[in-house]
């Protein structure tokens, strides 16, 4: 039996990873540790919460004493660390929270694992899930052409150059994880993934926010001219990659995960509009009038594009879905799960959202 600690398992990507591990590995005991911040939602895991190999613990990764006690109590062999503050716009307003959770929280977990494992690294693994945003921004040197929009891609060897408080905090946590490998010999692995989309994503992020706003006839706030480029990956494919890398990734190594799927924001917004309108039975183009260009995000990175060739060549992972299929599944899911969305967007969050967008 393996005892696996997954942090941030009540969030968007974490819930897909927990679901995959609980269903695929009945012989593992999966401990989902989450502080249930605004982004954590146990409704994301309703379908697996009664499984015998699943345990939920509400705790803050920054609570070092608690992390030490849990490592011992559950005799943890493997850590999949996803807990984080994850939204760039929030990091611009409140950078301290990002440094606390992403940097100090990661350090607290690393140190708790190190003390518990005490140099007996056999069969142990600390897997840190990170983002492509740590690499900085790429040029848009083919702005009018078809994707890809530029000649350069992020490689595992690309120098870190983060710009937002979010990416700076994730970069710092990545460095700490590598330092624990290089200094103490901890069996770590780090992955840097591109933008994810799919079911259970908190509706402050572009795709679920826009699906929900279209459904409610609200404006769609496109930052700047909508020309920033992101590389999108269906969340279930990210979870599949995490499973493969957790089991087969080389200790001390880094893998990029991405879909070779670049989109300008304005084009993705139009795809989302077309899909929602079609599924709601609206005439084509109905919701295009909701597009509203607003003040750009401060320090808005122009282009992200991941080269995940290493992961394909070494471990055989490739995205399983075409983008069109992924978007169709995603839009259908949000339209069929309006209660999930309404529970999140009512009350406190609505106030926060109004505040966040009042200057735009
Ligand atoms: P999310 O915001 O949806 O979920 C984060 C989860 O962490 C929430 O459940 C929250 O309650 C929990 N959490 C926050 N602070 C905590 C703390 N102090 N202690 C314990 N739990 C805490 O984020 P996500 O989009 O699912 O991202 C998960 C991870 O993947 C993050 O590390 C993020 O940097 C990384 N990542 C995300 C993307 C993306 O597109 N969403 C892409 C690449 C990498
Ligand atoms: P987001 O989902 O916040 O992810 P990230 O900033 O981590 O890439 O945003 C994706 C892109 O969409 C990013 O370029 C910012 C842009 N965006 C908007 O234009 N309007 C919005 O309301 C949001 C949330 C994002």
Residue 105 lies in a domain: yes
pLDDT tens across 188-202, in order? 999 999 999 999 999
Question: How many angstroms is it from 84 CA to the middle of ligand 1?
Answer: 4
Considering 132, 156, 237, 307, which one is annotated as catalytic?
A: 132
Residue 219 lies in a domain: no
pLDDT tens across 208-238, in order? 999 999 999 999 999 999 999 999 999 999 9
Q: Mark residue 281 as left, alpha or beta (left: phi above 0; alpha: psi -120 to 50; beta: remaining).
A: left
Q: Catalytic residue at 318?
A: no
**In the chain, beta strands by DSSP E:** 2-7, 28-34, 54-58, 78-81, 125-131, 188-193, 195-197, 220-223, 229-234, 254-257, 262-264, 291-294
Locate the ligand 2 atom nearest the alpha carbon of residue 220 and give its number.
22
How far apart (Å, rounded) are the C-alpha atoms in residues 302 and 168?
Answer: 16
pLDDT tens across 259-314, in order? 999 999 999 999 999 999 999 999 999 999 999 999 999 999 999 999 999 999 99
206-216 and 323-336 are packed helices; what angle lies between their axes, rounded to 10 degrees?
Answer: 50
Residue 283 lies in a domain: no
For the full predicted model, state whether its pTM sits above 0.95: yes
Per-residue pLDDT at 348? 67
Q: What are phi and psi of 37, to 5 degrees?
A: -70, -175
Question: Which of the listed residues 140, 168, 169, 223 should we mutate to test ligand 2's pocket, taking the one with most ligand atoms within 8 A of CB?
Answer: 223
How far, in whole angstroms, is CA 17 from its chain's centroid? 11
Whether 79 and 56 have beta carbons less than 8 Å apart is answered as no
Question: How many angstroms is it from 308 CA to the middle of ligand 2?
Answer: 22
Going by pLDDT thresholds of 50, 70 and 90, the confidence category of residue 350 is low
How far apart (Å, rounded) are the C-alpha atoms in residues 85 and 38?
Answer: 10
Per-residue pLDDT at 82? 99
Q: Which residue lies with its CA nearest to atom 17 of ligand 1?
A: 60
Q: Which residue has the higher pLDDT, 60 or 351?
A: 60
Q: Of 83, 11, 81, which is closest to residue 41 (Cα–Cα)?
A: 11
Task: Dig out the tokens for 313 from the structure.
Answer: 């060549």
Question: How many angstroms is it from 104 CA to the middle of ligand 2?
Answer: 26
Going by pLDDT thresholds of 50, 70 and 90, the confidence category of residue 145 is confident
How far apart (Å, rounded) are the C-alpha atoms in residues 245 and 262?
Answer: 23
Q: What is the CATH number of the domain that holds 66?
A: 3.40.50.720
Starting from the CA of residue 223, give the closest ligand.
2
Parent domain of 167: 3-198+232-263+300-322
Per-residue pLDDT at 347? 66
- Report the domain count for the chain: 1
Q: Catalytic residue at 133?
A: yes
Question: How many angstroms is it from 182 CA to the middle of ligand 1?
Answer: 25
| SS3 label, residue 339 | helix
pLDDT tens across 301-346, in order? 999 999 999 999 999 999 999 999 999 999 999 999 999 999 888 7
Question: How many angstroms is it from 93 CA to the middle of ligand 1?
Answer: 17
Whether 280 and 335 have beta carbons less than 8 Å apart is answered as yes
**Which residues sit with their C-beta closer than 6 Å to ligand 1?**
7-8, 10-14, 34-37, 39-40, 60-62, 82-86, 101, 105, 129-131, 170, 193, 195-196, 202
How far apart (Å, rounded) are the C-alpha atoms in residues 282 and 326?
Answer: 21
Distance set, CA 6 to CA 16, 75, 246, 253 (Å): 11, 13, 12, 20
Considering 135, 166, 197, 200, which one is annotated as catalytic?
A: 166
Residue 345 lies in a domain: no
Distance set, CA 306 to CA 18, 85, 289, 313, 318 (Å): 25, 22, 32, 15, 13
Q: Catalytic residue at 132?
A: yes
How far apart (Å, rounded) are the C-alpha atoms in residues 94 and 301?
Answer: 19
Mean pLDDT, residues 53-62 taken together: 98
**Which residues sit with their C-beta closer than 6 Å to ligand 2?**
88, 195, 205-206, 209, 221-223, 228, 230, 265, 297
Locate the ligand 2 atom nearest the alpha carbon of residue 265 and give its number.
12
Question: How many angstroms is it from 54 CA to the middle of ligand 2?
Answer: 33
Per-residue pLDDT at 359? 66
Q: Which long-range contacts (CB under 8 A, 24 or more apart) does 20-26 make?
A: 20/236, 20/239, 20/240, 20/242, 20/243, 21/80, 21/243, 22/48, 22/51, 22/53, 22/54, 23/48, 23/51, 24/243, 25/53, 26/51, 26/52, 26/53
Q: Is the pLDDT of residue 148 over 70?
A: yes
Per-residue pLDDT at 146? 81
Locate the ligand 2 atom nearest the alpha carbon of residue 224 and give its number.
19
Q: Is the pLDDT of residue 172 over 80?
A: yes
Q: Which residues pair with 291 in a beta bridge?
A: 220
Could you give the percent of the chain with pLDDT greater than 70?
97
Per-residue pLDDT at 345? 86
Starting from the CA of residue 197, give the closest ligand.
1
Q: Is the pLDDT of residue 351 over 70?
A: no
Starting from the CA of residue 191, give the closest ligand.
1
How far apart (Å, rounded) are the C-alpha atoms in residues 269 and 90?
Answer: 21
108, with CB counted inside 10 A (0-12, 13-18, 19+), is buried
Question: How many angstroms is it from 249 CA to the middle of ligand 2?
Answer: 30
């Amino acid at each position: 039996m393996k005892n696996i600690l997954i942090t941030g398992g009540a969030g968007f990507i974490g819930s897909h990873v927990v679901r995959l591990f609980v269903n695929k590995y009945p012989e593992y005991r999966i401990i989902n540790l989450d502080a249930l911040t605004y982004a954590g939602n146990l409704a994301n895991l309703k379908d697996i919460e009664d499984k015998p190999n699943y345990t939920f613990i509400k705790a803050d990764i920054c609570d070092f004493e608690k992390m030490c006690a849990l490592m011992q109590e559950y005799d943890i062999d493997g850590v999949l660390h996803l807990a984080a503050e994850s939204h760039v716009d929030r990091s611009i307003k409140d950078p301290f929270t990002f440094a606390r959770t992403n940097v100090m929280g990661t350090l607290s977990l690393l140190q708790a694992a190190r003390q518990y494992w005490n140099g007996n690294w056999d069969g142990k693994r600390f897997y840190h899930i990170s983002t492509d945003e740590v690499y900085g921004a790429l040029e848009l040197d083919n702005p009018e052409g078809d994707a890809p929009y530029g000649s350069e891609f992020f490689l595992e060897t690309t120098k870190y150059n983060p710009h937002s408080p979010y990416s700076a905090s994730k970069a710092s946590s990545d460095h700490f994880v590598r330092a624990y490998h290089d200094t103490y010999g901890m069996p770590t692995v780090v992955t840097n993934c591109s933008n994810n989309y799919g079911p259970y994503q908190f509706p402050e992020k572009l795709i679920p926010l826009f699906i929900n706003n279209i459904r409610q006839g609200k404006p769609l706030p496109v930052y700047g001219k909508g020309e920033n480029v992101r590389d999108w990956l269906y969340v279930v494919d990210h979870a599949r990659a995490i499973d493969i890398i957790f089991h087969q990734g080389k200790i001390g190594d880094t893998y990029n995960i991405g879909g070779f799927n670049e989109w300008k924001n304005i084009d993705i917004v139009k795809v989302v509009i077309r899909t929602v309108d079609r599924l709601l039975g609206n005439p084509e183009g109905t919701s295009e009038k909701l597009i509203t260009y607003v003040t750009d995000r401060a320090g808005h990175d122009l282009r992200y594009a991941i080269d995940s060739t290493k992961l394909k060549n070494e471990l055989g992972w490739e995205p399983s879905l075409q983008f069109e299929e992924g978007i169709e599944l995603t839009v259908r899911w949000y339209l069929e799960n309006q209660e999930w969305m309404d529970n999140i967007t009512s009350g406190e969050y609505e106030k926060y959202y109004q505040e966040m967008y009042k200057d735009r």
